[in-house]
Amino acid sequence: MMKILFIAYYFEPYSGVGAKRISYWAKHLRRIEGNVTKCDVITAVPQNQKFDNIDNVFYLANTNQGLLRKFIKSDKGASWIFDLKKYVKRNIQKNGYDFVVLTGDPFLHFFIVDDFKKLGIKTIIDFRDPFANNPRGIAKNTLIKKAKHFVLRKIENYFLSKANYIISVNQYCVELFENYTKYLHKIKIIDNGYNEQIFKNINVQSHCKSEKNIIKLSYAGKLYKDRNPQVFLKCLRSFSDINFYHIGEQSEYIESDTKQIKSLGFMSYENTLQLLTTFDVCMIFTSGYSFESTTKIFDYIALNKIIFIVTDGEVKTGQIYQITKGYPAVYWANNNSNDIERVLKNIEKDINKDIFFNSYKYSREYGLKQLVEILHDK
């Protein structure tokens, strides 16, 4: 019999990507593991609903107090840890749970692991992204920034040393951990995935036939400075039979709608998936960091879509390559006009081929079963 507590700054009904992994785990744990007698959640997101297989979802507001927040303002866990420590001291008894699963980012509420250790409760810390040595976050151009990076490395090492188990989403992220070789014996990899429960209501096809000989390319999600479609969009002018559709918040990297370029706005995850079934090709724009992945890649695979990846780095490298290398319909291009145009011509030739692929190992359920294995690991 197991009693499990999940601690997540973000949790449903928050709709951002930071809530999806941990929300799925908590909601479906009992479906996978029948010996769970207690399943609770603590989150900083206000609650307005009940969950069938979760006993309690405790809303713990971030009161923005504590000293740590004054030094590390970018991580909301720096202030939430103040509230979390008070809550645990008042409400959680010795051996009250068998395991506590904490997820980040934010990360600094991971300081609570030592409190649980004193209560005889095992802890699992889940890093959905790199923390101290994240290449996107490291800045050493001033003495203050160098000092901050030094402190974050020490903090990360503390977290790794105190937790019973450490989860990361891929090997590249593991190798960014501070002194990671010391902790390999307790590090587990659980990648992200698509929510197969939602896909039960999605009409997945082997391919989508284009309408009126127009090939429809799409991208779902936010666009960033180091992951933007501007070179690609210029290339489209040479392809009158190709249109591009962006699903997501209005982006500065898409100036305005044209005959070939359409911004469809933000929509729910379920509606996004349903709309993606009507497109021929789904796109990824990546900066080329080896650790970089994106949850949308799993959705694209589950939808049996042709996937077109444009990278600022080397093609067919890193975690995105590791995920897609067995998939039968993936095209890579460097982020320059010649390479993008070459791939677009290849897609024109291959657009109507059928795609059949067993995507189960890319599902959230597959990842949850890996978590259950950790819970059983004595």
Question: Do the domains at 2-193+363-376 and 197-360 have one common CATH topology?
Answer: yes
341-366 pLDDT, tens digit each = 999 999 998 888 888 899 999 999 99
CA angle 76/78/79 to nearest 5° reads: 80
Q: Which fold has domain 197-360?
A: Rossmann fold (3.40.50)
Q: Which neighbouring-strand residues pair with 36?
A: 2
138-192 pLDDT, tens digit each = 666 677 778 888 888 999 999 999 999 999 999 999 999 988 999 999 999 999 9
* Amino acid residing at 340: I
Which two three-digit tokens encode residue 28? 């479906």
The residues, any chain, with a CB within 8 Å of residue 126's CB and separated by 6 or more, are 21, 22, 101, 102, 103, 104, 167, 168, 190
Architecture of domain 2-193+363-376: 3-Layer(aba) Sandwich (3.40)
**Whether pLDDT at 209 is above 60:** no
> Could you state, in order of their start, the residue ranges of all structural domains in the chain?
2-193+363-376, 197-360
30-49 pLDDT, tens digit each = 999 999 999 999 999 999 98
pLDDT on residue 212: 65
Alpha carbons 166 and 159: distance in angstroms, whole number: 9
Q: What is the reported pTM?
A: 0.92
242-252 pLDDT, tens digit each = 999 999 988 88
What would the mean pLDDT of 68-95 be, rounded to a whole number?
Answer: 88
Q: In 142-241, where do the E strands start and end?
A: 165-168, 187-189, 215-220
